[in-house]
Each structure stands twice: as C-alpha cells, then as structure tokens.
Amino acid sequence: MIKSFYFNPLETNCYLIADEGGAVAVVDPGCYGDGEAAALEESLEGLKPVAILLTHGHPDHVYGVARLARRYGIPVMLSAEDNYIMERCGTLASMFGLHDVDLGFSTVPVSDGSVVKVGGLELRALATPGHTPGGISWYCASEKAVFSGDTLFAGSIGRTDMPGGDYDILMDSLLHKLMVLPEDTLVLPGHGPETTIGREAATNPFLEPFNEAPGDDIEPIALDGFK
C-alpha cells in the first residue's frame, strides 16, 4: 500500500508505504503544525511505523520528523552528505517565509545501495545528488515505485540554485540512476503529481535534449518501446 499526502505551504508530498502486515515507513513527513501532524498520525493508526525515510534535508521535507520520531521511537534515514543542508534549515526556511524547524532528532546515515526493510518490503537507497549534496531516491522494486524527492518531477527536474545544488551532478543522477529504472516504475516526487519513468523519458523537456543528442560524456538512453 502506498498513500500520499501533501503538507505545508510548499505543498510537499509525504508518502506512507506499508506491507501486507501493516509495517509502514513514512517518506518525507513535512507536516507543518499540529493539524497536519495529527492527520498523518491518524492515518498511521493500526499500522506499525518502522522508519522515516528522507529524500533530502530541506525544511519542507522534515518539518514533522522530530514529532514522529519521538512518538513512535523510529529511526530517521538520511544521507550524511545532507548534514550540510540540515544545519542550514533555519536559514532556508526563512527564505520562504516559513517558521523554524524542530531538529531535535538524530539520523541514521544511508548511502547508495543501503536497504531498509519495511516488513516484507525492501526499499533501496539510490544516491541522486544534485538538488542537494545528499539527495536519495528510495526505490521499491516489488511495488515498482521510486520516491524521487526533488530530483525528478512530472515534466520537470529539481532546482539547483540553492546551497549545495549542482546541475551537472543532478543530470548525472537523473540519467544514470533514475532513467535506467524499468519504464513502468511509478515516480512519486516531492511535489506535484505522480508520473512514470517511461513517460518522463519520452516527454520531459529537461531530459529530451539529452536523450536525442547526448554529449560525449553522457551515455544515451534508448527510448524504444516508451509510450
């Protein structure tokens, strides 16, 4: 089961992914205030939270982490490369007119290839830096889904003009970590509607130029069979 929400003034997507036995992980709980946190907790009733999975450390993706981690006593998984971003959460929040972030939680470092078990499900960390230095996309092969954070959106890609952003690194992440996933993989982004890898490979305007005329240092992506 995968269930989605959107929270805070930036409409950040949060997801629950649960196995048949009720074990559940929370991806990017950006709950902004008690009302949003209570709505998420209500959806967790009857389930067994086992982990919080963060795609990156921007404030709109971590607002609800401290409260959930304290309530359920569960680990928070984040790339150590994004400690740099977490340290700047207050400054980044103020840039968008948002209130400060409760950072009263610790994180368990993950890196490319790390696996988190959620009951009978396995979520593998794909290192997808570029939007932030430690961006992680969480891939669940059995559910044919990837939680792409702010790396890949429907019809767009993540911004790289904020601290720690790097366009060339982002493009490398997109082309060599996400666009190589099966075309029917469901993409669940940090903002906006869901999409698929096949749809983005065929129609995303930020990816098409690279697919059609790749540079010498970028491996081309075959589009045969994409609809």
**What is the pLDDT, as a whole number, of residue 209?**
58
Spatial distance between the Cα atoms of 103 and 64, rounded to a whole number of angstroms: 10
Spatial distance between the Cα atoms of 139 and 146, rounded to a whole number of angstroms: 4
**What is the pLDDT, as a whole number, of residue 215?**
39
CA triple 24-25-28, angle to 5 deg: 145
DSSP letter (8 states) at residue 121: E
pLDDT tens digit at each of 227 positions of the chain? 999 999 999 999 999 999 999 999 999 999 999 999 999 999 999 999 999 999 999 999 999 999 999 999 999 999 999 998 998 998 999 988 999 999 999 999 999 999 999 999 999 999 999 999 999 999 999 999 999 999 999 999 999 999 899 999 999 999 999 999 999 999 999 999 999 999 999 999 999 755 543 333 434 333 333 22
Q: How many CA atoms lie less than 13 Å away from 186 in the CB half-sphere? A: 10
- Give the H/E segment covering residue 116: strand 115-118
Residue 136's nearest CA partner among 47, 41, 48, 52 is: 52
Spatial distance between the Cα atoms of 168 and 29, rounded to a whole number of angstroms: 28
**What is the pLDDT, as a whole number, of residue 211?**
55
- Give the H/E segment covering residue 39: helix 34-43
- Domains in the chain, start-ordered, CATH in brackets? 2-212 (3.60.15.10)
- Residue 119 falls in which region: left (phi positive, over 0), alpha (psi -120 to 50) or beta: left
**What is the pLDDT, as a whole number, of residue 136?**
98
**What is the pLDDT, as a whole number, of residue 2?**
96
- Residues listed for the chain: 227
List the beta bridge partners of residue 188. Answer: 147
Give yes or no for a contact between 146 and 119, defined as CB atoms under 8 angstroms apart: no
Neighbours of 160 (CB within 10 A): 16
- pTM given for the model: 0.90
